[in-house]
Amino acid sequence: MHTGCTVNRVEKHAADFTSHLSNGSSIASDQVMFAIGRHPNVANLGLEKAGVAINPSNGGIAVDSFSRTSVPHIYAIGDVTHRLNLTPVAIREGQAFADTVFGNRPVEVDHADTPTAVFCQPEVGTVGLTETQARAQFSHVDIYKSTFRPMKATLSGRDTRMLMKLIVDATSDRVLGCHIVGDGAAEIVQVLGIAVKMKATKADFDATMALHPTAAEELVTMRTPTARHVRQAAE
């Protein structure tokens, strides 16, 4: 995993490829997948004729918290709104739409604290706020971080490491975010999403018994902050 750089060019050599990066390095591989992002597929739908507005900030169909467009009887859900382009999010939005319109039970979808993952090597799982986001929103933020080699890796001889990171509001003790890099990160973060959504505190994590030997036990055994951030009040 290389951070802080982009792909300048890709060269093909017979059946192989060489990717040249902006930091001066290069990577040889059998295949190259270049994910450059996507845009909402809203063209040629006749939205202008129907009076459906486009959100100028993201290019998706503009909707309110109930997924209702600028035309009251037209709703839009999923990637076309360009909110969170994830399959489970679209499913949840569809369920809320059905409850609201056909179930006579208005439901708003809360997109906060949505667990996400990148299924790369190493795997990345995250839920809640990042350290940067938390420091921007809260005056006192504690960071708990641990990097280690899981016991299963030491027994097998694999050179595998894990990163666990908790973001905590030092004022209320609430866990604002959790970030994991390593084997099983997505599976762990899915369950942690429940705790973060329920506004669990660091004390709740500390009171949970550790399951040994697991990598996830680090989440309930970290006691000392690795960093403490206090935002200075504006004068």
Q: With contact defined as beta carbons under 8 Å apart, do 59 and 82 qualify?
A: yes
Instruction: Note down pLDDT in tens along the chain; length 235 residues.
Output: 788 899 999 999 999 999 999 999 999 999 999 887 888 999 999 999 999 999 999 999 999 999 999 999 999 999 999 999 999 999 999 999 999 999 999 999 999 999 999 998 899 999 999 999 999 999 999 999 999 988 877 777 778 899 999 999 999 999 999 999 999 999 999 999 999 999 999 999 999 999 999 999 999 999 999 999 998 764 5
Question: pTM here?
Answer: 0.85
Nearest to 92 by CA among 174, 192, 197: 197
pLDDT digits (tens, 9 = 90+) for 71-101: 999 999 999 999 999 999 999 999 999 999 9
Sheet architecture: strand order including 16-21: 7-13, 16-21, 26-29
Known catalytic residues are 212
What is the CB-side half-sphere exposure of residue 125 using CA atoms within 13 A?
Answer: 20
Structure confidence at residue 231 (pLDDT):
86
For the four alpha carbons of 40, 41, 45 and 48, in that order, the dihedral sign comes to: positive
Q: With contact defined as beta carbons under 8 Å apart, do 12 and 20 qualify?
A: no
Residue 56 DSSP label? T
Assigned architecture for domain 116-230:
2-Layer Sandwich (3.30)
Structure confidence at residue 18 (pLDDT):
97
Contacts of 85 (CB under 8 A, 6+ apart): 38, 78, 79
Structure confidence at residue 233 (pLDDT):
63
Structure confidence at residue 37 (pLDDT):
82
